Structure 1
Amino acid sequence: MSSPEQPRGQNTRMRKMTASANGDTDETSGLTTPRSCEVPLCSSYENGITRIPEETRLRDPEAYHPKAVCIGPYFHSGRNSPSFRRMEQHKHWCVNRLLERSNHSLEPLVQAFLLRLSKTIKTKSFQQLYAKPVDMTEEGIGMMLLFDGCFILHFLLRHDPNKGAEHEYWTKLDAGLLDHEYETLQWERPWEWSLVAIDMLLLENQIPFVAVRILFDILKTEHDKAVDLTACARNMFNKYLPAGMCTSTRPIRCQDVRCLLQLLYRSLLPNPKLHSDLMKTPPKPPRTGIDPAKKLDTDGVRITRRQQWYWWPLSHFQEPFTFLDIVFSHGKVRIPQLEVSDASIQLLQNLIAFEKCYQGTTSHVANYAAFMDALNSDHHDTELLRKRSIFDVQFTPAQPELSLRRRCKQDVDPSSENYLSRMMVDVVLYKEARASRKKTQTPISDTAFFAVLAVTAYVLLAFCWYIVS
């Protein structure tokens, strides 16, 4: 695959561009964007893109390591390995195509991007975008952010839910009618895009989303005015992620997105409309965990799958939900279906790690995993949940029992602010009320029952005879 043209003396120009971006020279780029776009594109970088704690990584190193594409500096040393070489070439292709569609050239793009990024983060060091030291030069980090950012931007634009005037262009491109190299990449190993989508959501395989936004602001065309990058990302999530991990449609401002993994996390949070009473104080202190599924079923609490309605008008009256939206009503615990596969377990591991690594983040995914483990205590519970279509187990061969706690290889004990606490208390209260009603009911013997039935029949026959006569 071809890469963007790199004229002689490019290293010298790159150093000058970096110096210009850092404010050390008076050179400016001929590629400009409106000043109105220079509003703060990110709120805070006190906590940059972080790394997995070593004790967590050692439990399952493969869960946090990309398989098809390297994004960001933490795996930079392996970019030239056979596993990643294909996508590294594709990054150059993406830069070329974005430049072509916007009628720009590489050199002005580099200078404008570095200048905008430096102004946005309000620092002279790109190292501060990451929480841990990065063994790369400032120039290397800047160029890495540009090529990785163009790769992500092109991938997101391909999944714009409202392709509009460029629908024909993207359709033909995906069909391989516009570019032979892209056709080869698209159809030679189509399954690879699912690996790419998962890799782009690993905790350490991230770049600040502000870099993608700046590139989009510079390279967008007149057809891109209505494009919402968060909507593109969600459409991509829903296409490639395991079944059951569909995202919500709640609006998320683009400038509030730290990285793609954070966008996925926010898109999976429980719907506040469905859990408006979660912050109310429970009538009694919540219990830790919940009874196993088999015992709940025996006690009269039915476990059912919560389904999304797709037919209008039913879908019009249903609030969207994610796999975290577990509800209890009328004696039924309704749980959305989750595909249990290597990909979904890997995503759960990275989402739980994200909750642990970033301050101010909720523990909803960890609480969900702890709840499902308490519900699924042995292979009998697993079989029940599979029959009720709550677990769609994709492992081959299927495991006799399924523990998210063991498969995630992380401590997923419920936190003190468990979003499922109120629901678990409601289940306990329902069981107590049901048991109390059974105790107060007076048992009726078979003889008394038939006596009452005979008297009732005699009264009805007498009434009918009276009417006829």
Structure 2
Amino acid sequence: MSGVGMLVESIENELKQVPILPSNCTIYRVPVMLRKVKPEAYTPHLVTIGPFHRNKQHLKPMEAQKLHYLKEFLDRNSQVNLVDYVNAMTDLEERARKCYSEIINLKRDEFIKMLLIDGCFILELFLRRDRWEQYRDDPLLSKTWMSRTIMRDLILLENQLPFFVLRRLKTLFNRGNTEARVTHLTYLTRTFFGEIMLHRYESFGRLFLEGIFRVARERNLIDFENLPENEEESEDESQAKKHLLDFVRHLHLPSSPMSLENHGKFECIRSATELHDAGHVKFKWGSQTCLFEITFNRQDLSIPPIKIGDWTDSLLRNFIAFEQCHSDCTKYVTAYAAFMDGLIVSSKDVELLQKNRIIDNLVGHPEKVAELFNKLVEEVTIPFDNFYFSGVCEEVKTYYEMINASSMNYHFNTSWGFLKRFLPSLLIILITLLVFV
């Protein structure tokens, strides 16, 4: 065989071995250009979920705790055994593999074991958090720093299981366990992540819901015998929550799509202090039901309040990373970050927004908040032709320019009126000086 023939055969053999990358994946590696800006925002610190970080040495200590949680989870319901859970994960193996953006080089048994252990760890953690009074001595929940770090790890883009895995495990867990059906997975997830939501109203809502369920249990107001066991959501696959990060992101999104008339070309808004000092714009405490309901009326710019804690930077960055990677996804968080980046240039802007209760600063110095927003959209592709806040930005810009134009006209007319009034006297003085000189 000639040299060319051998080369052709070699290339053909390589082509036969090329793996087929999944086309409908939802769990991604964070793009390199985003990661390099702030690597620690995307890296798990205590617990690994899924395949991407499973071999990291600093995450190994948590594996024993995962197995302990698995045992506790299995002991909760004697009507479902380990075989049932393994069979369920086996059924989902192929579908789950397709959710990851790269080929997962784990053998079948390893992959299924990972789904089971990680999924049951998450559910046991959720169940314990829901019954906090019973688990005050739990080593993961009793230490605030540890529980907060785990919470943060569970919303990292690279640290995810498909949400349908959790749903299937919870459905099995519900079998014959009537009281367990009350604590729906949606409720458990909202309860667990309530502390890191960007709105304070979520904490109130969580406590309110917990109170309702507690009273219902105590007074037998819920028909335990006729509760549905299956937690599989009725929404179609394109609308279903992809994973925990996507679930928490959806809790912040508008209940219905924002009006298309507000979408348009991206334009950076002026800083808060400039709008306030030179444009007489007033900042108002806006909607508490959605972070993105930013409106402008006359001179009032209404912005929903946002809670800034030590977890906020990582949360927003991973929201944005998901929006950057997933094409079938709205870009609300990316647009919001770009809007706030324009509004906040320095600590003075943060202080002004704090004063108007728009920013609830839990990190201390205003400089930290300013730095957070100033670096949030570095290396991020902003939707320039479909910017969700272009309508508001245009209204603010028009008002600002009108106010400044009116101010300039006022100063010009005032100065000219002054000159007209005193011009005759000035001419007389000038002529007198010229004559005597």
Q: TM-score w.r.t. structure 2 length?
A: 0.72
Aligned twin of 2:135 = 174
For residue 274 of structure 2, what is the amino acid of its counterpart? K
Aligned twin of 2:109 = 139
Deviations 1:355-393 (A, max 9, x none): 011112122111111111111223432332233333344
For residue 127 of structure 1, what is the amino acid of its counterpart? R
Aligned twin of 1:236 = 192
1:68 aligns with 2:46: yes
Aligned twin of 1:267 = 251
Q: Distance in 2 between matches of 1:396 and 1:171?
A: 28
Which one of the candidate residues 380, 385, 389 is aligned to 2:357?
389
1:71 Cα deviation from its structure 2 partner? 0.4
1:83 Cα deviation from its structure 2 partner? 4.6
Q: Distance in 1 between matches of 2:345 and 2:90?
A: 55
1:127-166 aligned within 5 A: 127-159=97-129
Contact kept, 8 Å, 1:197 with 1:241, in 2: the verdict is: no
Contact kept, 8 Å, 1:245 with 1:268, in 2: the verdict is: no
Q: Distance in 2 between matches of 1:343 and 1:245?
A: 17
1:232-311 aligned within 5 A: 232-241=188-197, 246=202, 256-272=240-256, 275=258, 278-280=259-261, 288-297=267-276, 298-306=278-286, 308=288
Aligned twin of 1:26 = none
Q: Structure 1: any 5+ residue segments left out of the alignment?
A: 1-43, 161-169, 177-181, 309-319, 446-469
Aligned twin of 1:37 = none
Deviations 1:268-288 (A, max 9, x none): 113438x5xx31278xx7561
Deviations 1:404-463 (A, max 9, x none): 1425643254532111111222223444565687769x99x9xxxxxxxxxxxxxxxxxx
Which deviates further from its counterpart, 234-243 or 419-428?
234-243
Change (3 A) 1:271 1:402: farther
Which deviates further from its counterpart, 110-119 or 196-205?
110-119
1:194 aligns with 2:148: yes
Q: TM-score w.r.t. structure 1 length?
A: 0.67
Contact kept, 8 Å, 2:161 with 2:243, in 1: the verdict is: yes
Aligned twin of 2:168 = 214
Deviations 1:43-80 (A, max 9, x none): x97224221122322222211110111100000102xx
Contact kept, 8 Å, 1:286 with 1:424, in 2: the verdict is: no
Identical aligned residues as a percent: 26
Aligned twin of 2:72 = 97
Q: Distance in 2 between matches of 1:377 and 1:414?
A: 21
Aligned twin of 1:34 = none
Q: SS where residue 330 of structure 2 aligns?
A: coil
Aligned twin of 1:203 = 157
Contact kept, 8 Å, 1:339 with 1:391, in 2: the verdict is: yes
Change (3 A) 1:287 1:66: closer
Contact kept, 8 Å, 1:159 with 1:233, in 2: the verdict is: no
Q: SS where residue 76 of structure 1 aligns?
A: coil
1:138 Cα deviation from its structure 2 partner? 1.3
Change (3 A) 1:55 1:280: closer
Q: Distance in 1 between matches of 2:150 and 2:245?
A: 13
For residue 247 of structure 2, what is the amino acid of its counterpart? L
Contact kept, 8 Å, 2:320 with 2:334, in 1: the verdict is: yes
Change (3 A) 1:411 1:151: same
Aligned twin of 1:365 = 333
1:428 aligns with 2:382: no
Which one of the candidate residues 335, 349, 363 is aligned to 2:317?
349
Q: Distance in 1 between matches of 2:58 and 2:400?
A: 58
1:34-113 aligned within 5 A: 46-78=24-56, 81-85=57-61, 87-104=62-79, 106-113=81-88
Q: Distance in 2 between matches of 1:186 and 1:381?
A: 36
Q: Distance in 2 between matches of 1:70 and 1:417?
A: 36
Q: Distance in 1 between matches of 2:73 and 2:372?
A: 45
For residue 300 of structure 1, what is the amino acid of its counterpart? H
Aligned twin of 2:296 = 328
Contact kept, 8 Å, 2:89 with 2:165, in 1: the verdict is: no
Change (3 A) 1:419 1:134: same
Q: SS where residue 74 of structure 1 aligns?
A: coil
Q: Distance in 2 between matches of 1:408 and 1:253?
A: 35
1:95 Cα deviation from its structure 2 partner? 1.7
Q: Distance in 1 between matches of 2:262 and 2:88?
A: 50
